[in-house]
Every structure is written in C-alpha cells, then in structure tokens.
Structure 1
C-alpha cells in the first residue's frame, strides 16, 4: 500500500540532522470477527503526531482472512533521542473490494512513544476502541536498528503446474519457536519469477548468529487466504553469505509429503539467491539496544546567585499558576529520558543550601534523608 500523499518530511516531523533509522515490525493477536461468515482482512496504519495532529506515515499490507496476523511490512522510522516521538498504530479491516480507510472498519488502536519501543525492544499492549479494550485483541511492536542484509531471490523452478508463488523466511528462536522475517511479493501465474530485492535487519534475520537456523517456505497464493504449500528448505545466514561477490547460492525446495509418497520425487523446484550484501550502520542507538542504561539525575542550585524565589525576576520564582523555567526544563528532558530508565527513579540532589539547625552550606538529598533520594 502506498503513502497517503503526505510525506513525513513535508510535515516537519524530521528536521534534525542527527538521526538513526529503526525498523518496526507489527503483529496482532485475537482480532474479533466482524460476523460469523467472514474473518477480518487486517491492515495496520502507522501514524505520527506533529503539532498535536496525527498524520499517516505508512501502512502494512492487507492480510486476508486472519485473526492473528503477522505483517511482513517493516516500518522504517527516523529515531531522534532528543525528541518525544508519539506513535499511533491503528488496526483496520479492509475488504477485498477497496483499500480506502474511510469505508474500512476500525478495529482498535494503540498509542506509545518510539522511545518506549526502542528501550523495551518488544512492546505488547491491548488495542483500544473509544477508550475501551477492543475485546481480547492486542498488538505487538518489535524494534530492530537498521543493519541490513540486501538479498535477491529467484523462485523455485520446474513446478508441475503454473502457480502464484511467494516466499516466507522464518528465524528459528532459542525456544524452537519461529518468527517471520520477510515475506516476498506474490508473482502471479509464473513458474520462474524473480522476487524483488529486499532489505532485512541482521538482528531480525538471525539475532546476530550466523549459524542460526532459518526456515524458508514457498507458497502458492490463494485469494481466500488458504495458500497451498509448495515446499521448504532450511539454511543459515552463513550459507547466504556465499552469494556475496557475484556468486549464487541455491537450495532444493522440498515437499515432505511428496518425498514420502513419490518414489522418483526430487524436489519442487530450486530457490536461487542471486545477491547478498551487508550494509553496516553504527549509531548512538547501538548502545541503548546493547543494554546501556541511561539514568536521569537532577541537581538543583540553591545558592543566592539565582535571586529570591519570591521575586518574579528570578529563574527560581515560584509562580502560583505555572511552572518556572527550571521546572519546564526538567519536564522536557525527563519525559525523554524516562523511557530509557529501567526503574523510572530519578536521583534528585540540591547544593548550596543552608539547612537548619546550623544553616551550613551543604549538598543534600532533596528528601533530606540518607536513602531513598530517588523521585518517581
């Protein structure tokens, strides 16, 4: 699906020259059926807030007849540590006759900050509709910093009949579960199609483990969502790297059922990796995603150099109706840093104050006790 015609740059969302791109993957679970006769055709729309308004950034593909969709679309978002970037993920049921959101059924939404996703790596929250839980449905957003593998595949060859093939790549996790890494486009009515070159994060592909098992499945697309299994094969990123420097790597696509039943069965075709490139990107986000903890510490200057807090000319002036400049700065910085602080506790100190009973100048915990001195 295409953009709505308003790009992020024209909205003034991304103005800083210092940025890192992050990849967001989306999956939903337990979407309620609209009626007993049909399952929803879900699509997730990503929106970003700018100047108090929500603007569409991108959207996933539509997955037909699914209540637990795992979307192959990867949202690439510019990440700014110094900014509060508010995101909204909207789930819509889009019928096969149109792709417009105006006629689609709104199923629920989830709001969060990009900082929350980056710091937690995987954020799962219930979908809300008009402020209430949308049944038992939930949405999970997973983050990966962009460190890309660029690949180009040729589909299986020598099928017995023409098909509409597409390829899915799954990562096998430590607990033996599998996670969808990439789903190619469907090439209609073609035995030897060439799928488009795509990029995928190495973290997403193999969690940084070159020997991690990858499972690749080729399907024959069906409009009702019940795709026909063609064949599968196992590989690793270590094997895929053989396609670098102009070489090719190929795998036999095997259907285990045919392998047992048919004596002369060899394979259901050959999958060829034409090209593999590694694009390395390093940024400040590497530290955060590597487990670096950021702690927000506050120190207040209580010396007389700031003037009497009862005087409106002082930056420490205690205004009866609005926060002073110091409080505004603390809130602005604290809102950003809190997403990356593991315990959400902020050490708060003061210095240059005269504390009774002896009124000597000293450094103190703002709660005026040895422990705790943290403020939530």
Structure 2
C-alpha cells in the first residue's frame, strides 16, 4: 500500500485554503461533489489554452490532439474499472444520463408490457424515476427490494422478487443517503442465476472502492466524474459489448452515424453509437487527469484512510446528546446521516455554514429512504480523502454550538 500523505494531498486542493464567513472552510459535502486538485484544474486550463477544438471530426492538428487526449481518457477508464474493451466505455454527462440511456435503450429493445424491473428501497431518484417513466410507457411493473431498520437491504426478500417476467435489476453500490455498502457481487450473482442483467449505480463507490467489471461480472455500471475529483458534466456508462450492440441508440445526431440519407440512417459502431453530438471535451479529457491523481495516491490507501476517518467521526458524533444515526449498516463508506431530537436538519446546516462547515441537509434525492425512517431529512456528513480528524473535531464543536442555540 502506498504511503498516505494527508498534508501533501490537502495542498493539492486550492479551495481548502479559503475561508467561509471568516472561518477556515471545512468541506463535508463530498457526496454531492468533490473538490478538484490543482492537477485537474491545470489540465482544464491547458486544454483551453493549448488544444481547444472539436473531436472526432477534424483532420487539422488541434482536432487530432484533442481527439487523441479524449480517447486516452476512455482507455484510462477502461483500465481503471477493468473493462474488457475500451469500446464498452460510453462517455456521458454523468450517472443520471448513463442510467437513462439504459432505461431508454434497453427498455425500448427488451421490455414489454407485464415485464418487471427490480430496484431497491435505498435508491437515488436518478435510479427510480427513469424506471418509473419506462413502466408508465411500457406498462411494466417496478418491484422494490425492502430495506431493514439498520439501512441494509433485505437480501432474502430480494431473492424472492424474481419471476419469469423479471427483465432487469438496478441498484446502488453505496447509498448516497446512508453510506450502506451493498453486497453487489452476491446480488449480481443472484440475478444472473435467473438470467437477468444488472445495472449498478457506482456514483458513490467509484472514488472510495476499487471496482473490477470482470470480477463483478456486472452488465452495466454508471458513475460521475465530479464525485471522483474530476470536472462536472462528465460521466461513464460501462456496458457489456453484446448488450450495447443489441440496444438502439439513445439520441440521434452527429458522430453516432455511419451514413445518413433521407431514406435511412446507418448507426456508428460502439462506443460512438451512444455519443451523439459534441461531448464535454474538456471534462472528458480532464477526467483522465482525475483518474491519474487517484491512482497516484492509490485506492487501497484512500480506502484505509477514509475508513479510519469514518470510524473517528462516528465515535465523536456519538458524544452528542439526542443524536440518532440514520443508517447503521455493518459495511459503510464515508457517509454519516443523522438527526437530532427536536431540531430540524436545515437549521443545523445553516448554523454550521456560518462557522465555515459545509454539510448537506434534506432528503438527498432519496425521499423514499427518508419516508422509510419517517423523517423529512437528515444532516449528512460525507467524507473525502482530504478531510481530517481536526476537521471532524471542528464539526463537533460547531454542532454543539448550533444545538446550544436551537434547543
């Protein structure tokens, strides 16, 4: 395992040296988006200063070097997640679009009236609404894996949901609202025993946990660049080659075609069939720099550091009288959600912000999760590799101060 140098890492993130409301910034909203290291920021500037041009379409020098850099990222993603082929890597604008591509394209090709799709009770809205839309359109049925009181999925109940009408399973690797790490390999294997493909939402896993498409044998995997220290507006859909080849394209336009006449259009090969129009070129290129940055530090080292940080934060927060943790699964990753008796989460978040401490409050785009716990929302502390125990101590001091004002 590589040596984890927290001081060097923090020095790479310019925003961490700024103040908010006259206080040093303490940033605990990493589940929403992560901050960017100077290596990624510099790469963004370098793209616009040195190579700005459209990709895949020009014979001139700038277009060629931009295209090469964009395709280098595709190969970096392939290696990072251990995909079999680089053309199985579809560049999207984020996890949400990636899931919608599968819902729209797989749904159009393989879902019919009366079919069933399985999702879980802990999903982000982005892994609920597209399937509801498909069910409304096709007349199919959504089935939901129930959740236990500790925020873990009921795996035995999951096994009982399958029928001859089940056509797809889609669930999150790590809950954005609870931090629960699901037993994804076991769940994938169960689905495959029934001959059913699986989509995994990896948005909250990719920056914390090493993933391997071959070991998981997952059919589709989606994630976003901005949650792994890269730019916003970029993401990835991984799909197995045969499934992607058999799915119709998501959008029509430039780059996703071979030939166009008014009578007929012939679609391009993978991955371009699913990449209509000019992509977010700068973000696509610089996602590669974010991957380089993570790999330079090492995901094993990041995981070990964050697990220690999570344990420390959980212990310190337990000191707060009246606190109730929402989501106490055995296996968690870098997220702590909580409520305090008699206090609205929003009020806590506002006061913490005055102290320079950024947390997320509300339902976290996971309203069914909040409904399951009969609460309107939580305070969510989501950790990243650049956070420290000293920042957690500042959070505890700030929380105590906020509660002294609110109770």
Same-fold status (TM-score > 0.5): no
Q: Which has the higher strand share?
A: 1
TM-score category (smaller protein): under 0.3
Asked which structure has the greater CA Rg, the reply is 1
Greater helix proportion: 2
Q: TM-score, with normalisation over the residues of structure 2?
A: 0.21
Pick 1 or 2: higher relative contact order, CA cutoff 8 A, min separation 6: 2
How does the TM-score come out when normalised to structure 1?
Answer: 0.22
